[in-house]
Amino acid sequence: MKQKFAVQLYTLRNECEQDFPGVLRELKQMGWAGVELAGLHSYSAEEISDVLQETGLQTAGMHVSYQRLSSELESVLTEARLCRTTTLICPSVPHELRNEEGYRQFHNQLNEIAKKVQEDGFTLSFHNHAFEFETSIDGKSALEYVIDPSVDNAILAEIDVYWVKKAGKDPAAFIRPYSHRMPTMHLKDMTNDERGAFAEIGTGVIDFDPILLWGEQNGVEWYVVEQDVCQSNPMDCVKLSLKNLHRIAERLGENT
């Protein structure tokens, strides 16, 4: 399992702006197996690809905006190939589409793109927040509508367990319908107070044991840590999350 732990680089966006190659080298030294990209911070895909090769870090996937997927798809695929990933993730729904009609439009367009990139050997997933639970479509949440695990829906899931918890759902129960439809999963913890704020893995209220066990049995290729806001140095935060994930993995390995 340890070879499946990656960090979403949005967590380290400020650090990457200062020294993207240096961040990648430090993450490899820290023990991460991979990274999930969220932009190239003024570097070329070739430059970042060279650093990834140098360090041995794998690319767990690429977050790509709905706008880029819709208007710059060939450029996105070229970037992904250079960075050696076939996993694309749409990270959010544009604000203007966050209503029933908008979600239907979003789903139809994203599904078309997902089917198109499949022909080139890519997958396209959708990453959730909590707001998709606020809209109901055909008797289900907008999130469940977008990532419906049906044969004619090519949109895969990148479930963020923190946001599922924030929406009042049980993450371990919510992920069950997406067996072998979730190449990547987002992990972040939640503080044990009235804020329910972002926290390092293993320091909050989310029970990761059943989530990781399910992932191992149901085709998850990467467990990606994303901490949107860090209360201390972000590099220290991801280091603590990795340390605690390794402890969980070791314990689960002993008990399975």
**Cα–Cα distance measured from residue 8 to residue 85, given in angstroms and rounded to the nearest whole number:** 14
For the chain, which residues make up each domain, given as ranges? 2-255
**Of 40, 37, 26, 60, the residue nearest 236 (C-alpha):** 26
How do residues 180-216 score in pLDDT, each as one tens digit?
999 999 999 999 999 999 999 999 999 999 999 999 9
CA-CA distance, 187 to 248, in Å (whole number)? 13
pTM, 2 dp: 0.96
Q: What is the CA radius of gyration of the chain?
A: 17
Write down the pLDDT at residue 255.
Answer: 57
Q: Mean pLDDT over residues 140-169, rounded?
A: 98
pLDDT band at 254 (very low <50, low <70, confident <90, very high): low
Domain 2-255 has CATH 3.20.20.150: yes
The per-residue pLDDT for range 89-124, each reduced to its tens digit, is 999 999 999 999 999 999 999 999 999 999 999 999
Distance CA 35, CA 53 (A): 12
